[in-house]
Amino acid sequence: MQRGRTLDQQIAVFGEAGSGKTVLLSSFYGATQEPAFQQDHLFDVIADDIGQGTRLHRNYLGMRDQALTPAPTHFSASSYGFSVKLKEPATRKEQKARPFDALRVTWHDYPGEWFEQSVSGPEEARRRVETFRSLLGSDVAFLLVDAQKLIDHAGEEERYLKSLLANFRNGILSLRDGLLNGRGPLIDFPRIWVMALSKADLLPETDVYAFRDMLIAKVGDEISALRDALGSLIQGEQALSVGEDFMLLSSARFDPNEIVVTERVGIDLILPIAAMLPFERHVRWAQKKEAPGKVLEHLTSGAGLVASMLVGRFVGKTGPVGLILKLLSADLIDDAAKLAGDTLRKANREAQAKHENLRATLTRFKLDLDQAEKSRVLIRSRR
């Protein structure tokens, strides 16, 4: 979605209480405030709410310097907004040409307890629907599988996995009527559900393929049932990936006396995933005409902007998204989606040399995702 000169991407993170959501967010944000990150990237990550940013940064410093984990937060749904602001100076030419100046990422934290406990009354039920509705603008949702729980259930992992997925599915189904509210199936809905192994550092032998295989072998049916439940809420059920993308996440290495925040897995993929995965997937769905026109139109509005930046064929100053889309040829989107390997690296080098910071950043995001697949931290759907 585009608002003004900002491309808005939202992500939703679902995980049971204690599965590592607050630590994940603190590790993500804290790392972006380190000088090493600032040297290595062409953008700054800025919390929209200064107070929230300070709290997350303090959580991070507590882990880094004092081996303190953030205080548990129960039953509090929160949204955190971050702006990914490109560093200046941009060339005047680029500034005029680029369709957006900043990427805004909103991170929705859905209280895991709500999947484990039934509602206490109508007020609570209403609050859950409202909270869920606030994250419907997300393109990508992460569903956390807790490595600690897998260890606690060693030999009978399916007991944990089945209950996790069943709670989650039941939670969604219980919200169904409130969400649809007589208005029929939703268009705005997270359509990419990534299964993520949180605290992956506890299972160093498990790469993302082993994680995927375990899920498919032990709870393949439950994943299908979850997909059906999510599909029952939306228009264009074909444009939905559930349990097709997998990743490893570790916010730090937790030793008995130390939390090593520099040893992280997958955290640096969160921005690339938020920015690029919807683009890649939506283009593919559109090309295969996997959804009704209304849904596709909605999906490709952001994709067009990303595509024009990737290949560096600008469409001039921003106008209404619909207009931009008309200006963008199908070829352009196609070229952008195919950008890979050496061509992608070349595009990235070129953009850096010309100080086209937005294009350099997006091509780098794409390279990061490719690299993560090679290092077996990420599997993207092939569909």
Choose the stretch contacting Mg ion; rule: CB under 5 A; options: 17-25, 26-34, 266-274, 319-327. Answer: 17-25
User: Which residue, among 318, 316, 309, has the nearest Cα to 86 in the 3D structure?
Assistant: 309
CA angle 239, 224, 191 (to 5 degrees): 25
Partner in contact with 108, chosen from ligand GDP, Mg ion, none, beta carbon below 5 to 8 Å by kind? none
Question: Tokens 């049971």 — which residue?
Answer: 16
List 251, 300, 308, 348, residue binding ligand GDP (CB under 6 A): 251
Min dist CB 109 to Mg ion, Å, is 7
Task: Give the count of residues interacting with ligand GDP (CB under 6 A).
Answer: 19
Q: Does 199 bind ligand GDP (CB under 6 A)?
A: yes
Q: Are 48 and 226 in contact (CB under 8 A)?
A: no
Q: Are 167 and 115 in contact (CB under 8 A)?
A: yes
CB nearer Mg ion, residue 22 or residue 27: 22
Cβ-based neighbour number of residue 65 at 10 Å:
10
Q: Does 174 bind ligand GDP (CB under 6 A)?
A: no
Q: Does 256 bind ligand GDP (CB under 6 A)?
A: no
Choose the stretch contacting ligand GDP; rule: CB under 6 A; options: 44-52, 68-76, 159-167, 306-314. Answer: 68-76
List 18, 178, 185, 231, residue binding ligand GDP (CB under 6 A): 18
List 23, 56, 248, 306, residue binding ligand GDP (CB under 6 A): 23
Question: Tokens 């990550």 — which residue?
Answer: 45
Q: Does 250 bind ligand GDP (CB under 6 A)?
A: yes
- What CA–CA distance (Å, rounded) separates 309 from 327? 14
> Binding string, 53-92, against Mg ion, x = CB under 5 A?
--------------------x-------------------
Partner in contact with 201, chosen from ligand GDP, Mg ion, none, beta carbon below 5 to 8 Å by kind? ligand GDP
Contacts of 379 (CB under 8 A, 6+ apart): 208, 209, 212, 245, 246, 247, 373
- What 3-state DSSP class applies to 241? strand
Q: Does 190 bind ligand GDP (CB under 6 A)?
A: no
List 9, 10, 19, 22, residue binding Mg ion (CB under 5 A): 22
CB nearer ligand GDP, residue 199 or residue 282: 199
CB nearer ligand GDP, residue 239 or residue 377: 377
Residue nearest to Mg ion (CB): 22
Q: Are 104 and 6 in contact (CB under 8 A)?
A: yes
Distance of CA 173 to the CA centre of its chain: 23
- Give per-residue burial for 4-37: e unless 16+ CB within 10 Å, then b: eebbbbbbbbbbbbbbbbbbbbbbbbbbbbeeee
Choose the stretch contacting ligand GDP; rule: CB under 6 A; options: 34-42, 64-72, 96-104, 127-135. Answer: 64-72
Contacts of 314 (CB under 8 A, 6+ apart): 97, 98, 99, 308
Provide DSSP, 213-229.
Answer: HHHHHHHHHHHHHHHHH
Residues within the interface to Mg ion (CB under 5 A): 21-22, 73
Residues within the interface to ligand GDP (CB under 6 A): 15, 17-23, 69-70, 72, 112, 199, 201-202, 250-252, 254
